[in-house]
Amino acid sequence: MIDDLIKKANLLSFIILIGIILIGTLIPISGCTGKPPEIVRVFWQINLVDDQEKDILYQSLTLFVQANDPDGFEDLEEIYLINDSEELFWCIDSESWLKSTSGDATWIGSSTISMPDGSPLPAGEYRILLQDIGGDEAEQTIFLKPSLLKAYRRYIPSVSIENGEILVSGRADSYALWLYNKDQNYFRSLPVESKSVSIQEIVRTNNALKEGFSFRVYTYLEDKSLGLITGPYYAVP
């Protein structure tokens, strides 16, 4: 999932993020140097989400930081996203962030940052705070432009299931299926280049999905700097 987001945005394309792991428990290590954590790089992206279950269209923000801490990764505790002018903030803690590692690079963050009512996030400057267990912090800023949520509705891809095939059509050149197992846990991302994928072929090469799976369709509009996500859809072999 995160691999799709980063590669489609033409940022940090040298990183191959194979798996997405939801961190449930991080155990603090003993002994601290007192040195603050470090934000090496930041990846962020605005997404337009077409929620098929709730029948709503809303905006979300994907935010990931490449993090480092002299006391060890386990010393990291929370990420804050703060808009001071609007008095808004979001907290992503170590029990809820997504983590992916490739080589020495570790990325943590979330793809589900949104306003409670689904409205676009206010334009303006946002501070990103990375905090460790000892309260030490690292900070960077990003700037969100005004959203054109309604104007981009027409770019949402069309998805259907016919005769055992998942069919995807739209204005983008390529898409990805984000696959989830029957327990709704993220499994893997599958590129869709021919605009159709056989359900049986997916199951044949991914035995964990043989009892059925759900999926979301993702693409990135480079000229609009916008991610598009639609789903979930359900497939039974």
* pLDDT tens digits for range 57-78: 999 999 999 998 888 888 999 9
pLDDT tens-place string over residues 161-200:
999 999 999 888 889 999 999 999 889 999 987 788 999 9
In DSSP terms, 142 is beta-bridged to 126
Alpha carbon distance 169, 189 (integer Å): 18
Query: Which pLDDT value is given to residue 35?
Result: 84
At residue 117, what is the residue type?
D
- Cα 130 to chain centroid distance, Å, stands at 18
Positive or negative, the CA dihedral 180, 186, 190, 194 is positive
Q: Which helix (H) or strand (E) holds 112?
A: strand 105-113
pTM recorded for the entire structure = 0.78
CA angle 177, 180, 184 (to 5 degrees): 145
Given a cut of 70, whether residue 220 has pLDDT beyond it is: yes
pLDDT-derived band at 151 (thresholds 50, 70, 90) equals confident
Mean pLDDT value across the chain: 85
Spell out the domains of the chain, with CATH numbers in brackets.
2-144 (2.60.40), 150-235 (2.60.40)
